[in-house]
Structure 1
Amino acid sequence: MPPLVPLVRRGSLADLPYDNARQDPEAPLFSRKDADGQWYDVTAARFAADVHAVAKGLIAHGLRPGDRLALMARTTYEWTLVDFAAWAAGLVTVPVYPTSSAFQTRWILQDSGAAACVVEDPEQARLVSAERRQLPGLAHLWVLDAGAVDQLRRAGSRVADEAVTARRGLLTPETLATLIYTSGTTGRPKGCALTHANFFAEVDNAVRLLHPVFVSESKEPAATLLFLPLSHVFGRMVSVGCVRARVRVGHAPSVEGDELLTDLAGFRPTFLLAIPYVLEKVFNTARATAERGGKAAAFDRAARIARRYGQQATPSLPLRAARALYDPLVYRRIRNALGGRVKYVICGGSPLGARLAEFFAGAGVEVFEGYGLTETTAASTVTPPQRPRTGTVGWPLPGTAVRIADDGEVWLKGGHVFAGYWDAQRGVALPYTDDGWFPTGDLGSLDADGYLRITGRKKDIIITSAGKNVAPAPLEDWLRAHPLVAQCLVLGDDRPYVSALVTLDHEGLTHWRRMRHKDHLALWELARDAELLAAIQRAVDDANRLVSRAESIRAFRVLTAEFSETSGHLTPSLKLKRRAVLRDFAREIEEMYGPGAEQALRRSGGSGPNGS
C-alpha cells in the first residue's frame, strides 16, 4: 500500500520537541500529577526546555554521539523526557523492562555496550550495581527517584546550548535511534536496531490513517493515558506519535486495578492503547459486577445486542432501539471504566478476538486492531477506519507491503522495517535480508480485499502423531478471554491428540468462589472441583468450535501454579515461553497422555477435564 505521507529526508526525532516549541509553544503536550493527585499540563515550550537541559547534562558527563544509554523505569514523564534528551545529545536509547531479572538486564547492557544507565528506583540501582564488574563499559548510573533529572540539569548548566544544537545536527533519518530487545520467547533476546526514519515512517502514516484518533473531530482535544510499558515498541511508538501530532499524554506507572481506574477517571483520555488482556479484564469485571448484583442475565443480553450492533455497518431500527435501552445500564458503565471519554482503542500485542471487538464497538468504543513486531517499529497492519473486519488485523499500514510465502509465513516490507539485528562485536546492525523483505515467523493469509489474518507462529505449529498440523494461537486466545482463565498453553506435538494446560485467573476465581459459596476450598481442591472443571470444559468446547475435530482440545489440566514473568514462564510482554512451560510441567503433560488416557477419552466421548 502506498504511503500517505512523504519520507522524511532530513533531521531526526530529536528535533520534534524543538519544532513543537517553535510552532506552538503553549500547546499542552503532557499532563502530570502533583502530590495531591491533580493533573497539570506541561507545554511544548516547557518540554523542549526540559529536554535541552537534560541533554546538556548527558554531554557534560562525557557521553559521545552514538553511545548507548539504557533506560529502566516504569511508564512516566521522566521516561519520555530522558528518551528525547538522549536523542538530542546524539545518543542511542536502550529500553530495559523494569521487571527484568539481573541476568536479563546484564545481558542487554552487555550486548548493547551501554555506556550509561538510568533506572527508576534504588532497588533497580542495586540490581545493576551488583552486575557492574561484568559491565566494564558502563560508566554512569543515575536513579530517577534520587533526583537524576535535577542532577543532569545542574551538570549541564556549564555546557553551551550550541553543543546540543551541534549534536542534533549530526543526526539524519538513517541514524540509529534505539535498540529494542525482543522478548526472548525462544532464546536470548536480540537487539532490534530501529532508526529515526523507521519511527517517522511508522508514526507519520499511522497518525494520518487514524486521523480521528490523533486529531479530535469534537470539542474534546485528543489525549491518551499511557500505561503499557514504554520499554515495549508498541507503547514507545504511540508515545513518539503523540509528540509528533501534539497529542496530550499522561503517564500511569501502575496497572493495578484501583490505581489505574483512578488515573483514567482523573485524566479522562479520548483514546487508549491496550493489549487484549486489558479489554478482557474490563469486560469480565463488568460482567462479574452485574452477576453480584443479580443482573447477569441482563448483562448477557446487553452483550449480545452490542455484538450484533458491532457486526453491522447499518444496524436496523429495532437494534438501534435495543442498544439505546442498554446504553445507560451497561455500555456507559463500560466507557466510564475507561475514563468516560474514550472513543477509540488501539489494540495490539496479540489477537483480540471477534467477540470482544464487536462488543466494544457496540458499546461505543471503536477498536483499531493492529499487527506488528519489534522489528517493524510496531504496527504493520491496522484496522482501517470505518471498515473493520473482525477476525483480521486489518490492512497493511500505508507504506507497507505484505506477502504470504509458500509455507504461509507473513513477509513484510516498508520504511518502518528495522535496519537489522545488533551485532555486539562489530557495534553495527547486520542486515536481515538482501531484498528488503522481512520474514516475520508468523503464519497468516490475505483475503480478497487485502485484510490480513494471523493464524499462529511458525515455530509453534503442532504436528500430532497422525500428521495433523495445528495452530495453537486461536484456541489459546479464545480460552484466555474466559474470566476463569489466566493463561493457556495448547500442546500435542508428536502426540495422538491435542491437549492444554490452563492456569486460573485470580480475580475471576475469587468472584466464582464467592458466587458459589466455595471460599472455604483451597486452591488445589478448586483445581479438582467438578463444577469448576465443568465451567472450563464448556469454555474448551466453545474454543473447539473454531477448529476441526482433529485439531480440537481433547484433554486439559488445570494447574494450581501460575505462568508469570517471575516464574520464568512469561516474557515481560506476557508472551508464553513455551519451552519453559513444557519443561516445568512435563509430569502433568505425561499424565494427560499416560497409559489408559486415550481409552478413557474414548469412553467419555472424546474430551475430558483433569485437575492438578
Structure 2
Amino acid sequence: MRNVALAPSVTTPFTGGLADSIFETADRNPTLPVLARRADPAATVWEEVTAVELRDEVTDLAKGLIAAGIAPGHRVALMARTRYEWTVFAHALWAVGAEIVPIHPASSRDQVEWMLRDAGCVAVVVEDEQGVMTVGTVCTRLPRLRHVWQLDAGALPELVDRGRDVPYTTVESLRRIVLPDATAAVVYTSGTSGRPMGCALSHRGLAYPCDTLLAGWAHTAAPPGQQPSVLAFLPFSHVYGIMVMVTCVRGGVLMGHEPELTAAALSSALATFRPSYLYGVPSVFEKLYKNFLRAAEQSGRGALFERAAQTARDFAAAEERRRLGTGPGPGFDLKVQHALYERTVYRRLRAALGGRVVRGTSGGSSLDRELCLFYEGIGVYIHDGYGLTEVSGGITMQPLGREKSGTVGRPLPGTEVQVAEDGEILVRGPSVFQGYISDETATRAALRGGWLATGDIGRLDSEGYLTITGRKKDIIVTSGGKSVAPAPLEQRLRMHPLIHQAVVIGDDRPCVGALITLDPDFLAHWRAALALQGDAPGREAREENALREEIARAVASANSAVSRAESIRVYRVLQEPFAPDNGLLTPSMKLRRDAIVRHHAAEIEAMYEARARLRPSPQEPADWDEQDDVFR
C-alpha cells in the first residue's frame, strides 16, 4: 500500500462559518465586484454586485429567515438551478447557523421526497411552479416541512420585507456562534446504484480544499494584475458546484451565474462574461472540442483544424516532457508550426471561450489525456482534478510547473492518499465528511481507521501522481474471468465527434460489449457533409453503411488502447439517449449503469445472441474476433 501526501497545508486556521467571508470581504474591500448576473439569457451586459452590496443582501435575507422561524441546526433545501439567488440564500442560511440541503431541480418526485424526509428539512426553496408542484405532491408526507419558497414568485424580496423588524445584531449574534465543525451542508451522493445518501459536510471541511487552492494556485487564475473571474454553470446541487461557489466567494473571485446548460446559453455566457478560469466536467470540454471541429468543417477549414489540433497536442506533449525533465521541449520546426497556428487558429478558439481564459479544471470523471494536451496546446491549460462528495469536493491538484496530463495530479497539501492492495483509493484529511446522516452502518463501512474508502480505483506513479481508472463497483468481469475497467474505453469512445455517450458492459459475458448513442448535432453536420447523390433509398443505404464504418473506426480506435481480451467485440448504437428524464442518468449526468442494463436488457441479449450465431463456440472469448456493428 502506497501513501502519498504533499507538504503540510499552508492555509491559516479556519474559524467561524462560511458566511463570515462575505462580511470580511465587505469590511476589507467594500467596492470589490464579487458576483455577476444578467437580466435574461439574451442580455450582453452583466450586472456586478459589490462585496458590501452582497453583505447587505445576505444580512437582509438572514433577518427574513429568522422572522420565518429558521433557527441554528434547521435544514433548508435549495432546489434550483445555478442562479444568483442560490448563492445569496446559501450564505444567508449559513449566517443564521442553518444547514443547506442542495437538491437538483430535475430530481424525480420520489427522489425529492426521499431527500426532504431523510434530511428532515423544515423548508425548501424552489425555482418555479414546476418545483412547487413537485414538492406539493409529497408535502403531506413530510410533517417537518413548514415553508415552500418560490424564487420566481418573489420569495427573496418577500422574506427581506418580512425581516425588516429583526435587529441586525440578531444576525450578528447567530453568525458569530457558528463553529467550524458545525454541519454546513447535507449533500446527497449521485445515487448511480441505489438511493442517494446524505453526506454531512462541515464549514471547515468545505472551506479547507477551497482555501488550500486559493493559497497555492489563485495567482494562476487570471492574467497578472486582473481580478480572476469564473462562470458558474455547474449545478450547485452537487459538491463540485458548491466548491466553485465557496472558492469564489472566499477568494474574491468574480463569479457569474449561468443557469442554462444548453450549448447556445453557455456560448453566449462565455462570450459576454469572459471568464479567466473555466470549470467544467469532461462532457463540457468534449462538447467544446466537437463544436470547434464542426465549425471548422462547416467553414471548409476542417483539415486545417485537424492539423492545428495535432500540432497543439504535439507541442503540449513536448512542453510536458521538458517540465518533467524527460525531454528537451519543442523543437524548432514544431515551434514554427505552433506559432503559425497561434495566429491563424488558436487565438480564434480562445476567443470562442471569451478570450480571457488562461486555465481550467475538469472534474466529475476522467478527462482524456489527448484532450488535456489539446487545450494546453492552444493556450488554455485544463487539468483533470479529483474529488468526491465525501471529501467536500477536492483531493488532488496539479503541482505548478510539474503538471502531468492524463493524471489528476498530486494530493492537496494536508491531504493524504493511499492505494490499497486491491487498487481502491483511500483518503485522509481535514475535508473528509462527518458521515452519512441516518446511516451509521454505511458511515462505519466508508471510514476505516480515519481513512475514507472512496470506492474509486487508481494508481500512484513513482512521483506521487494519481491516475483514476474507474469505480470499484463498475469493474466488469467477463465469463472468461477477465476484469475490465469500463471508464477508459468509454472515455476514448466519446472522443469521436459522432459519439455522444457510451456504456461498456460484459459482466458474465464471453466478451466486452458497448451501448452507444450518437451526438445529434454532429450527426446532422456529418450527414450534410457526406452529400451523397442518387435516389433516396440508395442514398440512405449508402449513408447507413458509411455511418457503420465510421462507428467501427471509433470502436477500433478505443480498442487500440487496451489488450485484446479487454477490447469491445460487440456493440449496438441506440436511438434513445441516456438522460435524467428516462432515469438512465443522474441529475449530475452520471451513468446509472444498473438502470441502463435493465432498460436495454432486450437489446443486450439480442446483441450477444446475434454474434453467438456467427460463432461455433460462443463460450470461448477467443472466438469473438470481429467486432459486431449492430445498429438499432
Is TM (by shorter chain) over 0.5?
yes
Contact 2:511 2:624 (C-alpha < 8 Å) held by counterparts: no
1:470 aligns with 2:470: no
The 2-side partners of 1:528 and 1:205 are apart by 53
Q: Output the CA distance in 2 between the equivalents of 1:225 and 1:446.
A: 32
| Residue type of the alignment partner of 2:52 | A
Maintained 8 Å contact 1:111/1:424: no
For residue 384 of structure 1, report the CA deviation from its aligned partner.
Answer: 1.9
Could you tell me whether the CA contact under 8 Å between 1:409 and 1:442 is conserved in 2? yes
Cα deviation 1:426-471 (Å, max 9, x = unaligned): 9x98794252100011111100000001111111111111111111
After superposition, residues 180-579 of structure 1 pair within 5 angstroms as: 180-214=187-221, 216-313=222-319, 314-423=329-438, 432-433=446-447, 435-517=449-531, 529-579=544-594
Cα pair 1:209 1:384 within 8 Å, conserved:
no
Question: CA–CA distance in 2 between the matches of 1:165 and 1:521?
Answer: 73
Partner of 2:322: none
Match of 1:42 in 2: 49
- Match in the other structure for 2:324: none
Shift of 1:528: 9.2
- Is the contact between residue 201 and residue 399 of structure 1 (CA under 8 Å) also seen in structure 2? no
Distance 1:233 1:101 in 2: 19
After superposition, the Cα gap between the structure-2 partners of 1:542 and 1:521, relative to the gap in structure 1 and judged at 3 Å, is farther
Q: How far apart, CA to CA, are the structure 2 residues paired with 1:521 and 1:127? A: 47
Amino acid at match of 1:153: V
Query: How many angstroms apart in 2 are the aligned matches of 1:319 and 1:413?
Result: 43
Equivalent position to 1:62, from 64, 69, 86: 69
CA deviation map 1:47-66 (0-9, x unaligned):
00000000110000111210
Task: Give the counterpart letter for 2:508 in structure 1.
Answer: D
Provide closer, same or farther for how the CA distance between residues 585 and 34 of structure 1 changes in structure 2, counting only shifts above 3 A.
closer
Residues 321-370 of structure 1, C-alpha deviation per residue, up to 9 Å, x if partnerless? 11111123221222112111111111111111111100000000011210
- C-alpha displacement at 1:534, in angstroms? 1.0
In the TM superposition, what is the alpha-carbon distance from 1:318 to its structure 2 partner?
1.9
After TM superposition, where is structure 1 displaced by more than 4 Å over at least 4 residues in a row? 428-432, 518-522, 525-528, 599-605
Worse-matched range after superposition: 252-261 or 431-440? 431-440
Q: CA deviation at 1:88?
A: 0.4
Q: Match of 1:530, as an amino acid? A: N
- Amino acid of the residue matched to residue 255 of structure 1? L
Query: Contact 1:423/1:430 (CA < 8 Å) preserved in 2?
Result: no
For 1:27, which of 25, 29, 32 is the aligned residue? 32
Count of aligned pairs between the two proteins: 608
Instruction: Answer whether contact 2:398 2:409 (CA < 8 A) is retained.
Output: yes
What secondary structure does 1:569 align onto? coil
Alignment partner of 1:8 is 2:28: no
Shift of 1:75: 0.8
Deviations 1:182-230 (A, max 9, x none): 110010000011000101211111112223344x452432111111111
Query: What is the SS of the residue equivalent to 2:462?
Result: coil
Give 2:484's aligned amino acid.
Answer: V
Query: Is 1:596 aligned to 2:613, yes or no?
Result: yes
Q: Equivalents in 2 of 1:2, 1:111: separation in Å?
A: 39
CA contact (8 A) 1:287 1:299 kept: yes
What is the RMSD computed on CA atoms of the aligned residues?
2.2
**Mind listing any 5+ residue stretches in structure 2 that lack a counterpart?**
1-5, 320-328
Q: Percent identity?
A: 44
Corresponding position: 1:606 with 2:631: no
Give the stretch that moved more between structures: 154-163 or 29-38: 29-38
Tell me the residue number matched to 1:93: 100
Paired AA for residue 203 in structure 2: H
CA distance in 2, matches of 1:530, 1:49: 63
- SS of the aligned residue for 2:456 comes to strand
2:326 paired residue number: none
Task: State the alpha-carbon separation in 2 of the partners of residues 141 and 515 from structure 1.
Answer: 51
2:421, 2:409 → 1: CA distance?
21
The two structures have a TM-score, normalised by structure 1, of 0.95
Contact 2:384 2:406 in 1 (8 A): no
CA drift of 1:515 comes to 1.0
- In 1: Cα distance, 2:218 partner to 2:14 partner: 23
Q: State the TM-score, normalized to the length of structure 2.
A: 0.93
- Following superposition, the deviation at residue 424 of structure 1 comes to 7.3
The change in CA–CA distance for 1:527 and 1:460 in structure 2 (over 3 A counts) is farther
Distance 1:127 1:323, change over 3 A: same
Aligned counterparts of 1:33 and 1:374: Cα–Cα separation in 2: 30
Render the CA deviation track for 1:295-314: whole Å, top value 9, x for unaligned: 22111110110000111223
SS of residue in 2 equivalent to 1:609: strand
Instruction: Quote the offset at 1:603 in angstroms.
Output: 8.7
Residue by residue over 1:373-407, the C-alpha shift from the partner in whole angstroms, topping out at 9 and shown as x without a partner, is 11111121122222221221111111110001111
The 1:3/1:455 distance shift into structure 2, 3 A limit, reads same
> Counterparts of 2:542 and 2:498 in 1: how far apart (Å)?
11
Post-superposition Cα deviations, 1:115-134, rounded to whole Å, max 9, x if no partner, equal 01111111111111121111
User: Match of 1:449, as an amino acid?
Assistant: E
SS of equivalent residue, structure 1 residue 52:
helix
Contact 1:193–1:421 (CA under 8 A) maintained in structure 2: yes
CA positional deviation for 1:290 = 1.5
